[in-house]
Amino acid sequence: MSIAFLGPRGTFSEDAAILHGGENSSRTPFASIPALTEAVETGLCTEAVLPIENSIEGAIAVTLDLLIHQTPLKISAEVMVPVRHFLVTAPGAELSQITTVMSHPQGLGQCRKFLEQCLPNAAQIASLSTAGAVEEVATSTDLTKAAIGPGRAAALYGGQVLASDIQDVHTNVTRFVVLAAEDRPPTGRDKTSLCFTVKKNIPGILAAVLEPFARAGIQLTKLESRPTKLWLFEYVFLLDFLGHHQDEPVARAIAELTDLCEMVKVFGSYPAFPVETLGFLGDFSRSANRPADA
Sign of the dihedral defined by the CA atoms of residues 29, 30, 36, 39, in that order: negative
Decide which of 182, 211, 237 is a domain's last residue: 182
pLDDT over 90 (residue 209): yes
Q: Comparing C-alpha atoms, which of 157, 174, 152, 166 is closest to residue 14?
A: 152
Could you tell me the pLDDT band of residue 284, with boundaries at 50, 70 and 90?
very low
Query: Whole domain around residue 231: which residue ranges?
Result: 186-288
Q: Write the single-letter amino acid at 12.
A: F
Co-location of 91 and 77 in the same domain = no
Residue 288 is predicted with a pLDDT of 37
Co-location of 32 and 155 in the same domain = no
pLDDT over 70 (residue 281): no
Q: Comparing C-alpha atoms, which of 1, 58, 5 is closest to residue 24?
A: 1
pLDDT digits (tens, 9 = 90+) for 140-196: 999 999 999 999 999 999 999 999 999 999 999 999 999 999 999 999 999 999 999
Co-location of 190 and 284 in the same domain = yes
Neighbours of 171 (CB within 10 A): 17
Co-location of 116 and 227 in the same domain = no
DSSP reduced 3-state for 226: strand
Residue 266 is predicted with a pLDDT of 98
Q: Write the single-letter amino acid at 256.
A: E
Q: Is residue 213 part of a domain?
A: yes
Residue 294 is predicted with a pLDDT of 33
Catalytic, out of 174, 197, 241, 267: 174
Task: Give the best-scoring range by mean pLDDT among 58-62, 91-95, 233-237.
Answer: 91-95
pLDDT digits (tens, 9 = 90+) for 240-251: 999 999 999 999
Could you tell me the pLDDT band of residue 277, with boundaries at 50, 70 and 90?
confident
Co-location of 71 and 4 in the same domain = yes
pLDDT over 80 (residue 280): no
pTM of the model: 0.88
Residue 292 is predicted with a pLDDT of 37
pLDDT averaged over the chain?
92
Co-location of 177 and 72 in the same domain = yes
Q: What CATH number does residue 267 fall under?
A: 3.30.70.260
Express as a percent the part of the chain with pLDDT over 90. Answer: 85
Instruction: Determine whether 174 is an active site residue.
Output: yes
Decide which of 164, 196, 219 is a domain's last residue: 164
Identify the H or E element spanning 109: helix 105-110
Q: Do residues 123 and 99 make contact, with C-beta atoms less than 8 angstroms apart?
A: yes
Average pLDDT of the residues in 203-221: 94
Q: Is residue 59 part of a domain?
A: yes
Residue 230 is predicted with a pLDDT of 81
Co-location of 38 and 176 in the same domain = yes
Co-location of 121 and 219 in the same domain = no
Residue 113 is predicted with a pLDDT of 96
As for how many domains the chain has, the answer is 3
Q: What CATH number does residue 91 fall under?
A: 3.40.190.10
Contacts of 217 (CB under 8 A, 6+ apart): 249
Co-location of 109 and 144 in the same domain = yes
In whole angstroms, what is the distance from residue 159 CA to residue 188 CA? 44
pLDDT digits (tens, 9 = 90+) for 77-115: 999 999 999 999 999 999 999 999 999 998 999 999 999
Co-location of 133 and 218 in the same domain = no
Q: Do residues 192 and 266 make contact, with C-beta atoms less than 8 angstroms apart?
A: yes
Co-location of 93 and 159 in the same domain = yes
Task: Estimate to the nearest angstrom the gap between the alpha carbon of 48 and the chain centroid.
Answer: 13
Catalytic, out of 5, 30, 114, 176: 176
Q: Is residue 294 part of a domain?
A: no
Instruction: Determine whether 176 is an active site residue.
Output: yes
Q: Do residues 281 and 275 make contact, with C-beta atoms less than 8 angstroms apart?
A: yes
Neighbours of 165 (CB within 10 A): 13
| Lowest-confidence segment of 72-81, 168-177, 267-276, 280-289 by average pLDDT | 280-289
Q: Comparing C-alpha atoms, which of 95, 119, 116, 114 is closest to residue 168?
A: 114
In whole angstroms, what is the distance from residue 49 CA to residue 178 CA? 5
Co-location of 235 and 157 in the same domain = no
Q: Is residue 293 part of a domain?
A: no
Bridge partners of residue 198, in order along the sequence:
261
